[in-house]
Amino acid sequence: MSAQTLAAPPAPTGQELAVRPSWKAPIAFAVLALVALITFGILGESGQTSTFGISTGSDAWQIDPLALSSQPVALGLSLVCVAVAAYAAWLVRAGQAVPVWLTVLFAIAFVLAFLVWAVAGEQISFTSLLQGALALSVPLVFGALSGVLCERAGVINIAIEGQLLAGAFLSAVVATLTGNLYVGLIAAVVAGLLVAFVLAVFAIRYIVNQIIVGVVLNVLVLGVTNFLYGQLLAPEAATWNSPGTLPRVEIPLLNEIPVIGPVLFEQTIIVYAMYVTVILVHVALFRTRWGLRVRAVGEHPKAADTLGIRVNTVRFRNVLLGGAVAGLGGAFFTLGNVGAFSREMSAGQGFIALAAMIFGRWSPLGALGAALLFGFANNLQSVLGIIGTPIPSEFMLMLPYILTIFAVAGLVGRVRAPAADGEPYVKS
Amino acid sequence: MTDTKPPAAAPEEQRPPAEETFFQRFMRELTGGSILVTILSVVLALLIGAVLIAASDPDVQDRASYFFSRPGDTFEAAWNSVSNAYSALFTGSIIDINEYTVGRALRPLAETATNAAPLIAAGLGVALAFRAGLFNIGAEGQIILGAILAGYVGFGWHLPAGLHLIVGVLAGLVGGAVWGGVVGLLKARTGAHEVIVTIMLNYVARFLIAYLLTTAAFQRPGASNPVSPIVDDSAQLPRFFDDSRLHLGFVLVILAAFGVWWLLERSTMGFEFRAVGANPNAARTAGMSVSRTYVWVMLLAGGLAGLAGVMQVLGTERYLTSGISAGLGFDAITVALLGRASPWGTVAAGLLFGALRAGGVPMQAGTGTPIDIILVIQSLIVLFIAAPPLVRAIFRVRVRSAGQPVAGLQRGWGA
């Protein structure tokens, strides 16, 4: 991180703190807008229509599928991108920072332009696109929240992947053994706690490097779950690995809203727990005394200690809390979605969650937004893979990782970790 | 360091200086801890592995149901289960005493060396970066890029014998170096934390190879699954024996270890690496370019990991698959940690983990114990090594911290 940000105060929710507005954002916007204008607009096939299904069969109000003339609409959206880029350039020239909403607007216009271009001559269901995106986002959101809870207190949590995997494994096994899915959910929390406990003991008690403990814990959980899967779960799936899935709970009235209703309010209890957790963590972190203490410990442990906050106790608790949250997210793989555990089920999602946390600037709402974006990109990739598009799916899958590299390199906006993140506190 | 008996009036462990950063402390433990801690960690990890093997064995579970009437049965079954697995591990990796000729009895040892070679190469890359205070989690991606370039030269170009192999090896080194160098460059220019960038680049590399194997240039003609053509004979690392996969790569890797040792201990550049690792601010004050050091060290570290990719594609496997890195990148981190970030320590650790890998395959085939137990044992070893106080507490031994601390500086994400 460059020297000029060192003196900056603790970041509130994802606000731009740049002292001097940077030209990076307008330049990035301009390049992308140009790409959109040329590829999606000018070079797009003319005379094609892109059809988006809005309603599902069971909706109370039926809305006809939206048929758009591909090239003109993509062109229009690209021009919106160009306009945003121009406005951003004007703002920076006037000495003002580029606001977050402008970035969001740009992203939405760009993605829609891409979508209209990619779907030209085909039909996709907008609602199921979003449903799939949410399903892929849920573990990411839980994982990223786990990261936020740990890192705001100054402990780096690379072990999100392991916590997710442990949660997925233990929830499936316990739910099968007890025959009760909700006991399985509790087991998922316990599994996440266990991994977090080891992380906390090694990182805080024994002051082992946090990144190393995290990396090694991921390998350990992978090894243990793979081993037990091969030894027990695979040969005797009926006794060990057939938990089934949680029922979907419909929230009356809210699920009647077109598009949003079926996507958000016909979900399993894990997803509702996710909504609650995001809000709880956000409010607790930024609006309560507890949150102030946690952030103080993560930013300046010595000052916090001077004021009588027990730094390592706060950190220990937060790491455990983060583990519990990530463990619950792991249960979504098994109980929330597939209904059985399989080898290496988390498949790197813990690392995307880490990326989402960084991309979301260590704030719960930011992490939520980034996780939803990454989930959307992932689902878009598989949907477009089915209808066939000009872009290879592997490049879509790379997107979250490349965006994160851009984010940490300060090419788009600037991200800043809590000041004492990763540094153990030894009372002298 | 090997003297484990504390002197009569052993002074209590030297207290670290108050200003020591935690990475310095970690590096001091890493490089200054006793061999005894390493051995005890391995023993402890094997014991826990044994418990896991015994507890998950269906036979043991059956007998444990009448544990209180005949406890001996449970213990006998547990002993059988564990001893079968571990002896299969041993015969699969060191020496097979059931074979009649010396050559065939020693074949497991050659297999161990084959498995160890890429582990050591990638481990050297991680260790070198450690010494400059950088966490290179990205060996996985660097291996993949090295394998992609080396493999492409191997099957895509058709050069004269001799030259072909040299060009292939160099291409692999370049591939890994570029993937690592990007990290060093971003760190030097923008301050982007190398851990985040390397993790992300690992995934980019995975998707890149998955994509390439679907293209006409890389996919084997007529194959429906994503595999590349087999590399030309002229580009293959020659094998030493008829009935073993051991290839020239093992010699290359020992040369590489010697090179890293020379670089770190005898060259100006290596001195700068260590100085930057110890304290970048002091190094900067002394007139060294910290940025340039980051770029160079990551270029070299990436090149070493790329060498591991070369060995996988031109030596062991001889064609590209999306699983060409075979988890080597993450094992390389544990190898470098176990080897305490020193070149020869990394060689020793690589041989140990290579033996576990080599023995794991016949163990799984012969006794049904899943090979994943190896991952458990490896990660436990490293966990215990990283926390010597824990090992000391468990075994109730006092271990003298000896040796010179290799100081290093590691701050959090923000550094």
Tens-place pLDDT, residues B104-133? 777 888 889 999 999 999 999 999 999 998
pLDDT value of position B12: 41
pLDDT band at B26 (very low <50, low <70, confident <90, very high): low
At residue B401, the pLDDT reads 45
Residue B247 has pLDDT above 50, yes or no: yes
Q: Can you tell me the mean pLDDT for A54-72?
A: 71
Lowest mean pLDDT among A138-142, A199-203, A404-408, B193-197: A404-408
Asked if the model's pLDDT at residue A395 lies above 70, the reply is: yes
Q: Examine residue B244 and state whether it is found in any structural domain, yes or no.
A: yes
Q: Is the pLDDT of residue A48 over 90?
A: no
Euclidean distance between CA atoms A77 and A70, whole angstroms? 11
Residues of A in contact with B26 (CB under 8 A): 207-209, 212
pLDDT of A142 over the 60 cut:
yes
In the predicted model, is pLDDT for residue B35 greater than 90? no
Pairing mode of beta strands A123-125, A49-53: parallel
Q: What is the pLDDT of residue A3?
A: 39
* CB < 8 Å from B in window 59-118 of A: none
Specify the long-range contacts of residues A249-254, CB closer than 8 Å, at least 24 apart: none
How many other C-beta atoms are found inside a 10 Å radius of the C-beta of residue B350?
30
**Euclidean distance between CA atoms A184 and A190, whole angstroms:** 10
Domain enclosing residue B138, as ranges: 111-367
For residue B201, being part of any structural domain is answered with yes
Nearest to A227 among B52, B200, B383 (CB): B52
Q: What is the pLDDT of residue B298?
A: 95
Q: Which tokens in the block code for residue A415? A: 């991200």
The answer to whether A212 contacts B52, with C-beta atoms less than 8 Å apart, is: no
Q: Residue B79 falls within a domain, yes or no?
A: no
Residues near A145 by Cβ (< 8 Å), separated by ≥ 6? Answer: A277, A278, A281, A322, A325, A326, A329, A364, A367
Predicted pLDDT at B25: 58
The mean pLDDT of chain A is: 84
Task: Tell me the chain A residues in contact with residue B211 when contact means C-beta distances shorter than 8 Å.
Answer: 392, 394-395
User: By the 8 A CB rule, do A328 and A312 touch?
Assistant: no
**Over 60: is that where the pLDDT of B404 sits?**
no
What's the rounded Cα separation, in Å, for the pair B22 and B368? Answer: 43
Q: Inter-chain contact B414–A416, Cβ cutoff 8 Å?
A: yes
Looking at residue B409, what is its pLDDT? 31
pLDDT tens digits, residue range A255-278?
A: 777 777 778 888 889 999 999 999
pLDDT reported for residue A22: 73
B196 and A223 within 8 Å at the Cβ level: the answer is no
Distance CA B42, CA A39 (A): 58
Hey, which residues 342-401 in chain B have their CB within 8 Å of chain A?
369-370, 372-380, 382-383, 386-387, 389-390
Site of tokens 């090295």: B146
Q: Cβ–Cβ of A208/B415 closer than 8 Å? A: no
Give the tens place of pLDDT for each residue, B126-183: 999 999 988 888 999 999 999 999 999 999 988 888 899 999 999 999 999 999 999 9
Contact B412 A398 (CB under 8 A): no
Each residue of B103-125: b (16+ CB within 10 Å) or e?
eebbbbbbbbbbbbbbbbbbbbb
Q: DSSP for B234-279, please give it.
A: GGSPPBSSTT---BTHHHHHHHHHHHHHHHHHHSHHHHHHHHHHH-
> From the CA of B98, how many Å to the nearest CA of chain A?
27
Mean pLDDT over residues A226-249, rounded?
A: 87
Q: Report phi then psi at A90, rounded to 5.
A: -65, -40
Rounded Cα–Cα distance for residues B143 and B311 (Å): 10
Name beta bridge partners: A367. none
- Segment B392-400 mean pLDDT: 64
Q: Pick from A33-42, A93-102, A160-169 the range whose average pLDDT is largest.
A: A160-169
Total number of domains in chain B? 1
Q: Distance, in angstroms, between A133 CA and closest chain B CA?
A: 20
DSSP assignment of B275-335 equals HHHH-HHHHHHTT--HHHHHHHHHHHHHHHHHHHHHIIIIIIS-S-BTTTTTTHHHHHHHH
Q: Measured between alpha carbons, how far is A119 from A379 in angstroms, rounded to an integer?
A: 14
pLDDT of residue B135: 86
Integer Cα distance of A349 and A355 in angstroms: 10
Please compute the mean of the pLDDT values over residues B185-208 and round it to a whole number: 89
Q: Report pLDDT for B31.
A: 53
Taking residues A220-225, report their average pLDDT: 93
The least confident of A10-19, B216-225, B275-284, B327-336 is A10-19
For residue A275, give every residue at least 6 positions away whose Cβ sits within 8 Å of its Cβ, in sequence order, or none: none
Q: How far apart are CA A97 and CA B283, in angstroms?
A: 36
pLDDT higher at B37 or A299: A299
Distance (Å, whole) CA B320 – CA B228: 5
Please report the pLDDT score of residue A317 as a whole number: 95
Which residues in chain A are closer than 8 Å to B410, comparing Cβ atoms?
Answer: 209, 422
Q: Is B201 on the interface with A (CB under 8 A)?
A: yes
Q: Of A130-134, B31-35, B287-291, which gets the smallest average pLDDT?
A: B31-35
Percent of chain A, pLDDT > 70? 91
For residue A76, is pLDDT > 50? Answer: yes
Provide CB contacts within 8 A for A342, sequence distance 6+.
Answer: A229
Q: Which residue of B has its CA nearest to A224?
A: B376
- In this structure, are strands A66-69 and A123-125 parallel, antiparallel, or unpaired? unpaired
Q: Taking 80 as the threshold, does the pLDDT of residue A24 lie above it?
A: no
Q: Helix or strand or coil: residue A52?
A: strand
Q: What is the mean pLDDT of residues B231-250?
A: 86
Q: How many Å apart are CA A61 and CA B282, to the nearest integer?
A: 69
Q: Which CATH number does the domain housing residue B327 bear?
A: 1.10.3470
pLDDT above 50 (res B348): yes
What is the phi/psi pair of residue B381, to 5°?
-55, -50
| Whole-number Å distance between alpha carbons of A235 and B204 | 35
CB atoms inside a 10 Å sphere around CB A247:
9
pLDDT digit string, tens, across residues A408-425:
777 655 567 788 887 888
Nearest CA of chain A to the CA of B160: how many Å?
Answer: 35
Tokens of B179: 């993937």
pLDDT of B415 reads 40
Local structure of A53: helix, strand or coil = strand
A202 touches chain B (CB under 8 A): yes
Question: What is the 3-state secondary structure of A331-390?
Answer: HHHHHHHHCCCCCCCCCCHHHHHHHHHHHCCCCHHHHHHHHHHHHHHHHHHHHHHHHCCC
Q: Answer whether residue A292 shows pLDDT above 90.
A: yes
Average pLDDT over residues A304-308: 91
The pLDDT-based confidence of A11 (bands split at 50, 70, 90) is very low
What's the pLDDT score for residue A280?
A: 95
The alpha-carbon gap from A102 to the nearest alpha carbon of chain B, in Å, equals 24
φ, ψ of residue A123 in degrees (nearest 5): -135, 130
Better-scored residue on pLDDT, A21 or A118: A118
